[in-house]
Amino acid sequence: MRPNQLLPTAIGAVLLTLPLAACGTDLGAQGIPLSTNAFDAAVGEVKAAGKPAYYLGSKADDLPLTSLDLVEENAPAFQVEADYGTCESAGDGGCSAPVVVSTNDWHPDVQGLTCRRLEPQLGVPAGVLMGELTLTTGRLVVTVSDFRGRGASDDVQPAVSLLSQLRSVVASQPLGTLPPPDPDVAAWMDDVCGSTPGREVSHPLEAAQHPLDNSHVPDFTVERLGGGQLTWADYRRKPVVIVVGPVPQVSTTVRRLQPLLATSPSHPTLLGLVTDPTGDKFNPRPVADIERAAGALPVPVGYAAVPLSAVWFLDAASNTGVDVGMDGCVVAFVDAAGAVVHFATPSTPDGQLTEWARALG
C-alpha cells in the first residue's frame, strides 16, 4: 500500500504511530500470536533492509507477540514495530497495543520535543522522550512502551522492567547490552534530553518548519532483473531518468523514453524500478516472475520487492503536486547532484519529456 506522504522525522513516526498501533477488531486482551511464517517473513524484510531491529521475544509478560512490521508508510526512513497483545481503545477514536517496541532511524531534529534524561539503560543513553522510554544505539532510536495501567503519562517504569527481555529480531536470547550510539547520535541525546538524569528539557517549535525533502533521491539497493543488484550509489554524479511503477507501465515507458533521451546532449542514464502493488509484502513474488512479466528490457531495471525505495519516488511526486494516478507510475529527472529536477507521469507529452531531459545538463 502506498502512503499519502512521508512523515517528517523518524522520531515523529514513532510518536504518531504509537497511539494507533495494531488497530483492528477486538480479539481479547492477549490477541492472536504471530504465526511462525509471518514472523520469519518480517525478519526477512528486516534483513533485506540491512539494519538491526529489536523486540522482546515471543512474549512480553503474558502478552504474545501479535505483529512484527517493517513500516512501509515511513519509507525511506526505517521503522520496525513489534506489538504485544491486541488493540485497546486509546480514548480518542484510535487504539494501541498494550506493549509496543519500535526501532527507528535516528533523525537530528530536536524542535518540539520534550525529554527527561534517565540513567543509562542496557549500557546506552536513555531518556523519557515525549513520554516514552527511548534508547539510542548505532544510528537508531529504540522506544519501548508499556501502556498497561500506567499512572502518569510519562511513567516508563513498566517499560524499563521489560528491557531485560530486549533482543535483536534475529536472536533468540536477550542481548544484555546494546551497541553504543554513534558519536553524533550520543551528542544529539545530550542535546534533546540534557545530560543530568531526572531533569526535563523542552525544545519549542520554531515559527517555520523544515519542509520534507522531496528532492534528493535516497540510497537504495534492489534486485536487478536479469541478475545482480541495482544500486543507486552507482549512478551518482551523473544525470539519470528513472521510471518507477508496475511492470506494464515501466516496460512501456522506458521503451518510449529511450529514443527521446538519446537526442539529449546530457545523455542521461535511463533506469527502471518495478513495484508490485498487488503483491504480498511478507511473501513478495520472486524476481523471476517479474522478469517474465517484463520481458527483455533495453535498460537496467530493479525490482522493489519490499517497496521502500519505490515509495519515496511516488510520495515525493505527490508531495510536489504530481498526480501519479491509478497506475502508480512516475518518471523522475535527476541531475548529477542527485536532486530531482522534475517529476512527470507517462502521459506527459514527448516534447516536454525531451525538454526536461535536455535541461539536466
Extract the C-alpha cell encoding 97: 497495543
**pLDDT score, position 281:** 61
Q: Are strands 79-84 and 63-70 parallel, antiparallel or unpaired?
A: antiparallel
Torsion angle (degrees, nearest 10) of CA 37, 42, 43, 44: 90
Beta pairing, strands 269-275 & 240-246: parallel
pLDDT value of position 157: 92
Q: How many C-beta atoms surround the C-beta of residue 152 within 10 A?
A: 8
Extract the C-alpha cell encoding 294.
Answer: 517484463
Which pLDDT score is estimated for 92?
41
Q: What does the pLDDT read at residue 276?
A: 85
Beta strands (DSSP E) in 139-184 are 140-146, 167-168
**How confident is the prediction along the chain (361 residues), in pLDDT tens digits per residue?**
333 333 333 344 333 333 333 333 333 468 899 999 999 999 999 999 999 999 999 999 999 999 999 987 666 789 999 999 987 554 444 467 899 999 999 988 888 899 999 999 999 999 999 999 999 999 999 999 998 877 666 789 999 999 999 999 999 999 999 999 999 999 999 999 999 999 999 988 765 444 556 678 888 899 999 999 999 989 988 899 999 999 999 999 999 999 988 888 878 999 999 988 776 666 678 889 899 999 899 999 999 887 778 888 988 888 888 888 777 899 999 998 888 999 999 889 999 999 998 888 6
Q: Is 200 exposed, middle or buried (0-12, 13-18, 19+ CB in 10 A)?
A: middle
- Which CATH entry fits the domain spanning 221-358: 3.40.50.300, 3.40.30.10, 3.30.43.10, 3.30.470.10? 3.40.30.10
pLDDT recorded at residue 318: 87
Q: What is the predicted pLDDT for the residue at 18?
A: 39
Report d(CA 271, CA 258) in Å as an integer.
10
- State the burial class of residue 1 (Cβ atoms within 10 Å of its Cβ: 0-12, 13-18, 19+): exposed
Instruction: Give pLDDT, residue 13.
Output: 36
pLDDT of res. 202 = 92
The answer for residues whose C-beta is within 8 angstroms of residue 91's C-beta and 6 or more apart is: none
What pLDDT shows up at residue 19?
37
Q: What is the dihedral of CA 119, 123, 124, 129, to 10 degrees?
A: -40
Question: pLDDT at position 213, please?
Answer: 61
Residue 74: its pLDDT value, please?
A: 65
Is the pTM above the cut of 0.75?
Answer: no
pLDDT at 111 (0 to 100): 84
Domain boundaries, the chain: 10-202, 221-358
